[in-house]
Amino acid sequence: MNSKKRKIFIDSSILVEFKKQSKTELLLELISNTDTELVINSIVLSEYTFYLLAIEGEKAPRTTKENKEI
């Protein structure tokens, strides 16, 4: 029996849509599947952080940076 998990790369758009509570089914399905290992890289994390600042901060991340709030 092969116990290797299938690795699935998660793009930032999947995380953003999940955070916005839009199109959450895919990520929820992937999380619940014990045969998969979800992976991201630093670029995806950076992109997600950028969008998270916009969603939570209610203004563009560039505006936040220019105002020296980050």
The whole-angstrom separation of Cα 44 and Cα 12 is 5
Domain containing 42: what range?
6-66
Q: Take residue 11 and report the two structure tokens written for it.
A: 């793009």
With a cut of 50, say whether residue 1 has pLDDT above it. no
Q: Is residue 1 part of a domain?
A: no
The one-letter amino acid at 70: I
pTM summary value: 0.71
Is residue 64 within 8 A of residue 70, CB to CB? The reply is yes
| Residues 26-61: tens digit of each pLDDT | 999 999 999 999 999 999 999 998 888 877 777 777
Domain count along the chain: 1
Helix (H/G/I), strand (E/B), else coil: 8:
strand
Residue 19 lies in a domain: yes
**pLDDT of 69 higher than 90:** no
